Structure 1
Amino acid sequence: MSDAASISTLDEIHVLLKELPGPSREAAKAAEERQTQLTKPLGALGRLEELAIWLAAWQGKKKPQVDRPFTAVFAGNHGIAAKGVSAYPTEVTKQMVANFIHGGAAVNQLCGLADSDLRVYELALDEPTADFSEQPAMEEEDFVRAIAYGMMAVEEGIDVLAVGEMGIGNTTSAAAICMALYGGDASDWVGRGTGVDDETLALKTKLINQAVELHQPTFTDDPLQILRCVGGFELAAIVGTVIAARLARTPVVLDGYTCTAAAAVLHAIDDRLLDHCVVGHQSVEPGHQALMTNIGKEPLLDFNMRLGEGSGAVLAIQILKAACACHNGMATFAEAGVSGPA
């Protein structure tokens, strides 16, 4: 994206956020009218109808398409992981990136089924963020650079973007972001992530409470500061790619808890900034349902998944393909010679 190269400060990002385009009302109206003419009772396909209209509005097409989906997985490491908040060591992030590249992960198999291109974006895996229980996770310069890097992931010609992440310790960041945005105690937002035991869960909860209290004076009125203080490089990149997708009028499918938490900082700035996004699935992380309530989203799937790496978002691409197939391929009442509603 050309805009990414010129972004160097948080102020410039805020200016850009005020200039983001909205949906095509004309395309949405045309898609709604088509839905009234298809050989079914209006509303009989439920959310498939809503999704077809949503896709049409953001793609600017009467007949939306999911012919070239693209999956972006952002990978980064977290300094907080050194405190033992995860069941896995930080080396796993780099090892899993290699697994993605060699086609061995779940997301690779799901991308194959969805005919989605997959690209993995590494963000300084040998240089994790600072331990946010002691200091801000990122300096502003590095934070903005990560956002700009994420913006460059949105390529021309894609019609749907699925977004995921990989980073040991990042559910700790997700819970801290949610607590900072919406209040409560860390216990309201924290989960077992990769499958930690009770002792580790208690430590994770304690460190999140400590971190939010430490950084509260810095949060002020800017949700981006929350992400800078308790987020991660890959989460900042997710924010960047969501912004760039909006500039390109590309619909976005967010993955689970961590991915949604990163995007939520945009919703906190302006509750219209995630209108071009859907949430692919509901994670078993306990904070995810509350998070989706706060941002006004309903997941497309609930399969008890908690893998990350974009897996739920890519699986949901199949739902969007189904919405387009019915919207574009069904005959109208006139074409089929079927009597319409009285």
Structure 2
Amino acid sequence: MTASSPAASPFDDIRQLAADAPAAPASTFEGGDRLAEISAWLTAWTGKTPPVVLRPVVALYAGARQGVGPRGYARERLEAVAAGGANVCRIAGVQGAGLEAFDLAIDRPTPDAAAKASMSEKECAATMAFGMEALAKQPDLLIPGVIAAETDRAAGAIALALVGGEASDWSDASEPVAAAVTRAAGEDNLSDPLQALRQLGGRETAALVGAILAARVQKIPVLLDGYAAAAAAAVLHAIDPALIAHCQASHVGTAKGHARLLEALGKRPLINLDIAEEEGVGGVTALALVRLACEVR
């Protein structure tokens, strides 16, 4: 009698994609000049000498969670972006960056993770695959971010599950963060980063993970925008630290835990302007520095 094969998981294709990611290119940069470091990073990932950024794209994923933030927040902000009235629209225009915003069923919010898993494995894997659509525009630099209320709750819960420490290290909303991780740990092995993601992250976080992974496979450099993107990167880092070698942290925001998580990921932010807003603002602001670095030889 032959042993039965283990049941297929919706995450199998994601894990295989991560396992098949090409090796990170070697960087020849040595020294402490940050502009030269950025230039060398771009050259390594794009293969262009001197480096150049011609098609940067800001990809924003809008998600909503039950009982988190003001009712209708994500819809209101998504409409502001669509109308060109959000800060990121104006800054992206100045920088010549493309801007795309994706509605991740915001009229059907995911459950509060303190009460129930945010997503099933199937929904989480499908949302990650949807997040990869940001690469359809063939950007030569991707700036992924979110449109969501109280992003520190989901990001803090993922950081707590994957990095450890206390809930108060990662979010001012320490009680719901701790409750979410305690509940999830009773249902799943949170040392599996994809289980931690589907239990604790919203759809917007899952889409970010998919976008960052797709960029890694296609060797497209990424500027992580905000705490939510850092948490998404932490999921991939927990699978294999090399999966975020193509990423730079655009900035460090004011959210509690953001700086701590970037340190845990070994990512030094390009700028520190105390930008509290998510929605791609920090990422597209840092794009100006990246463009300047392209002029450094």
TM-score, normalization by structure 1: 0.81
Q: Within 5 A, what are the aligned runs for 1:206-225?
A: 206-217=175-186, 218-225=188-195
Structure 1 residue 171: Cα displacement: 1.8
Q: Distance in 2 between matches of 1:24 and 1:62?
A: 14
Structure 1 residue 79: Cα displacement: 2.0
SS at match of 1:109: helix
* Of 175, 181, 186, the match for 2:156: 175
Identify if the C-alpha distance between structure 1 residues 212 and 324 changes in structure 2 by more than 3 Å, giving closer, same or farther: same
SS at match of 2:80: helix
Give aligned pairs, total: 289
Q: Distance in 1 between matches of 2:267 and 2:189?
A: 24
Q: Distance in 2 between matches of 1:148 and 1:14?
A: 12
Identify if the C-alpha distance between structure 1 residues 180 and 58 changes in structure 2 by more than 3 Å, giving closer, same or farther: same
Q: Within 5 A, what are the aligned runs for 1:1-342?
A: 9-25=10-26, 28-29=27-28, 46-81=33-68, 86=69, 89-191=70-172, 204-217=173-186, 218-327=188-297
Contact 2:24–2:242 at 8 Å: present in 1 too? no
Q: For the aligned residues, what is the CA RMSD? A: 1.7
Q: Distance in 2 between matches of 1:73 and 1:166?
A: 6
2:5 corresponds in structure 1 to none
Structure 1 residue 150: Cα displacement: 0.3
Q: Distance in 2 between matches of 1:43 and 1:290?
A: 24
What amino acid is the match of 1:269? I
Q: Distance in 2 between matches of 1:43 and 1:135?
A: 48
Structure number with bigger Rg:
1
What amino acid is the match of 1:12? D
Structure 1 residue 12: Cα displacement: 1.5
Per-residue CA deviations over 1:193-215 (Å, capped at 9, x if unaligned) read: xxxxxxxxxxx321211111111
What amino acid is the match of 1:232? G
Structure 1 residue 155: Cα displacement: 2.6
Per-residue CA deviations over 1:309-339 (Å, capped at 9, x if unaligned) read: 0110110111110011233xxxxxxxxxxxx
Identify if the C-alpha distance between structure 1 residues 256 and 220 changes in structure 2 by more than 3 Å, giving closer, same or farther: closer
SS at match of 1:74: strand
SS at match of 1:273: helix
Q: Distance in 2 between matches of 1:279 and 1:246?
A: 15
What amino acid is the match of 1:321? R
SS at match of 1:121: strand
Contact 2:251–2:283 at 8 Å: present in 1 too? yes
Q: Unpaired runs of 5+ in structure 2?
A: 1-8
Q: Unpaired runs of 5+ in structure 1?
A: 1-7, 33-41, 192-203, 328-342
SS at match of 1:219: coil
Per-residue CA deviations over 1:117-136 (Å, capped at 9, x if unaligned) read: 10001100111111211110
Contact 1:163–1:255 at 8 Å: present in 2 too? yes
